[in-house]
């Protein structure tokens, strides 16, 4: 039995970041990961000569003052090499009009959106005002939702006067903002916003919380921006791992946590894990759990039976989406020239496809070739309810249908694919241990975001949640913010309030 002050379950970006911060502050930390490598949904895998980003392909928060950059500065390690995406994405509504380029440079984006969506200026200006207010608030490290007086004190400290004004919109949606601006019937704008919001909030304009949506709609522009990592997404995890090694975190791979219980005698958490051959037990006063909270129903059985209302809350969390991800490679000359690494287009078959294309020579494919990754949302139950034969057939059909959509959109001849494979929710479950392969956390609608979401502080003392189901939500930047929040809560519970981050 091994003992440390903090045990972290899961070495995705949330687990790596919280382990790195706490260890840097001098706490002893054990990090347990079921996979052979770190990164989770932001990891990579290798096939032939190619390196594919499993899920996340672009990173927010690497600019000065952004959450990743603040954390790297605090840890005293360099940020991974990256280039800004400009345009961050090209969105093709396939309605015969010119695709929309989401420029990094603010003035170019303002001109673009006024040309593409005449009369929408008031809406964008309103989003900007809300976002600016949100941003100051988020940078002040609020704790949300509030679980005790310390959390409340952090929330109150983070508020600025403009938050009181934008607070009126707490229960509003992006569609309410469109209505205020007289744009509720602007179908083209709504179509565009639906595509973009679904990527970042899992919801459409009618269900995305106005306060959340206003910020994600501004993330591609100065002074923020989205970044393309050199080599692969794994370099983000590798950078964090280098800090864990420096500060002596006990990193354990290939052990799957299968049960958690509280040891009343020693007043600490006991974590039971299994490798292929052996069983292990770890003990810690604090336990950070970064697998989706739905997995607690499996892992925390006995304690949950004593907290029925919390168990009900976890049982009744709305089902997040699953993803189908198509990983492919081609010669650069065999795909239409596109002036962005990211492209989103409307497809009659799938609603939309989000496509990430590597940079020639960025380390993902041999020179002259590129990797092309396309993802769509899917209902997880459509895949888990099938027997093996039907599952394999459906997978084959989707691989073919996605190939055809991409061939049509990017002028690709079908014989020019150098590699193609498809991951389904079953694959995601296997890779990340996310139950039913759910991805991206909880939908950011007015009933579930911020104040109304699931708290990092659980009803069990010393058991903390962190990751993309916790404030502020999905994305490597979002989960890093949640890792910072949970680290501050743990440090504060030990009387350490001076984290300089």
Ligand X SMILES: Cc1cc2nc3c(=O)[nH]c(=O)nc-3n(C[C@H](O)[C@H](O)[C@H](O)COP(=O)(O)OP(=O)(O)OC[C@H]3O[C@@H](n4cnc5c(N)ncnc54)[C@H](O)[C@@H]3O)c2cc1C
- Give the interface with ligand X as residue ranges (CB under 6 A): 9-15, 32-35, 40-42, 55-59, 256-257, 290-291, 323, 325, 375, 432-434, 439-440, 467-468, 474-476, 479
456 token code pair: 């990092």
For ligand X, the closer of residues 6 and 439 by Cβ is: 439
Return the bridge partners of 369, or none: 331
Nearer to ligand X, 198 or 488 (CB): 198
- What is the nearest approach in angstroms of ligand X to the Cβ of residue 459? 21
Minimum CB distance to ligand X, residue 12 (Å): 2
User: Nearer Cβ to ligand X, position 55 or 163?
Assistant: 55
- Contact criterion met (CB below 8 Å) for 140 and 158: yes
Distance between CA 60 and CA 82 in Å, rounded? 11
Q: Rounded to whole angstroms, how far apart are CA atoms 240 and 418? A: 33
Interstrand relation of 463-465 and 279-289 (parallel, antiparallel or unpaired): parallel
Name all contacts of 180-183 with Cβ < 8 Å and 24+ positions apart: 180/126, 181/120, 181/122, 181/123, 181/126, 182/119, 182/122, 183/119, 183/120, 183/123
Q: Phi and psi for 143 in degrees, rounded to 5? A: -110, 125
Q: For ligand X, which residue has the nearest CB? A: 12
Q: How far apart are CA 160 and CA 493, in angstroms?
A: 26
Q: Min. distance of Cβ 416 from ligand X in angstroms?
A: 24
Closest approach of ligand X to the CB of residue 174, in Å: 20
Q: How far is the CB of 299 from ligand X (least distance, A)?
A: 7
| Residue with smaller CB distance to ligand X, 169 or 479 | 479
Our CB check for ligand X shows the closer of 331 and 430 to be 430
Q: Which is nearer to ligand X, 142 or 441 (CB)?
A: 441
Q: Which of 272, 270, 268, 300 is nearest to 285 (CA)?
A: 268
Question: Of 3 and 256, which has the nearer Cβ to ligand X?
Answer: 256
Residues 6+ apart with CB under 8 A from 155: 142, 143, 144, 146
Q: Which residues pair with 102 in a beta bridge?
A: 89
Least CB distance to ligand X at residue 334 (A): 24
Residue indicated by tokens 């494979």: 421
Q: How far is the CB of 293 from ligand X (least distance, A)?
A: 11
């Amino acid at each position: 039995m091994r003992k440390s002050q903090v045990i972290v379950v899961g070495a995705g970006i949330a687990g790596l970041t919280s382990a790195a911060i706490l260890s840097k502050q001098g706490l002893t930390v054990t990090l347990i990961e079921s996979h052979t490598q770190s990164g989770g949904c932001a990891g990579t895998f290798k096939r032939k000569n190619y390196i594919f980003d499993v899920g996340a392909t672009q990173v927010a928060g690497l600019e000065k003052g952004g959450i990743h950059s603040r954390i790297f500065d605090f840890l005293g390690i360099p940020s991974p090499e990256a280039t800004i995406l400009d345009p961050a994405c090209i969105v093709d509504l396939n309605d015969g009009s010119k695709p929309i380029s989401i420029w990094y440079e603010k003035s170019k984006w303002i001109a673009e959106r006024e040309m593409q969506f005449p009369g929408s200026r008031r809406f964008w200006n309103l989003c900007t005002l809300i976002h600016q207010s949100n941003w100051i608030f988020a940078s002040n490290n609020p704790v949300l939702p509030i679980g005790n007086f310390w959390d409340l004190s952090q929330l109150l400290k983070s508020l600025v006067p403009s938050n009181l004004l934008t607070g009126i919109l707490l229960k509003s949606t992006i569609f309410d903002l469109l209505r205020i601006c007289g744009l509720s019937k602007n179908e083209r704008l709504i179509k565009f916003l639906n595509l973009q919001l679904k990527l970042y909030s899992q919801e459409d304009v009618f269900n995305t919380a106005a306060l959340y949506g206003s910020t994600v709609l501004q993330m591609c522009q100065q002074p923020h921006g989205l970044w393309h990592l050199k080599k692969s997404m794994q370099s983000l995890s590798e950078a964090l791992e280098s800090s864990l090694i420096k500060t002596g975190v006990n990193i354990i791979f290939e052990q799957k946590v299968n049960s958690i219980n509280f040891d009343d005698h020693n007043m600490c958490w006991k974590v039971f894990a299994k490798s292929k051959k052996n069983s292990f037990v770890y003990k810690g006063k604090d336990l950070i759990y970064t697998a989706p909270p739905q997995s607690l129903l499996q892992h925390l059985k006995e304690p949950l039976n004593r907290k029925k209302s919390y168990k009900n809350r976890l049982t009744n969390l709305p089902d997040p989406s699953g993803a189908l991800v198509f990983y492919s490679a081609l010669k650069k000359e065999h795909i239409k020239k596109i002036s962005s690494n990211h492209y989103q287009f409307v497809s009659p078959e799938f609603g939309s496809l989000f496509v990430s294309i590597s940079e020639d020579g960025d380390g993902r494919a041999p020179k002259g070739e590129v990797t092309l990754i396309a993802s769509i949302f899917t209902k997880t139950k459509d895949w888990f309810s099938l027997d093996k034969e039907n599952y394999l057939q459906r997978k084959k059909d989707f691989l073919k249908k996605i190939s055809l959509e991409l061939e049509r959109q990017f002028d690709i001849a079908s014989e020019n694919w150098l590699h193609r494979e498809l991951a389904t929710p079953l694959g995601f479950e296997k890779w990340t241990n996310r139950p039913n392969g759910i991805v991206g956390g909880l939908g950011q609608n007015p009933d579930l975001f911020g104040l109304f979401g699931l708290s990092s502080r659980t009803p069990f003392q010393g058991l903390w949640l962190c990751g993309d189901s916790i404030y502020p939500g999905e994305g490597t930047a979002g989960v890093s913010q949640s890792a910072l929040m949970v680290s501050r809560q743990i440090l504060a519970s030990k009387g350490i309030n001076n984290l300089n981050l």
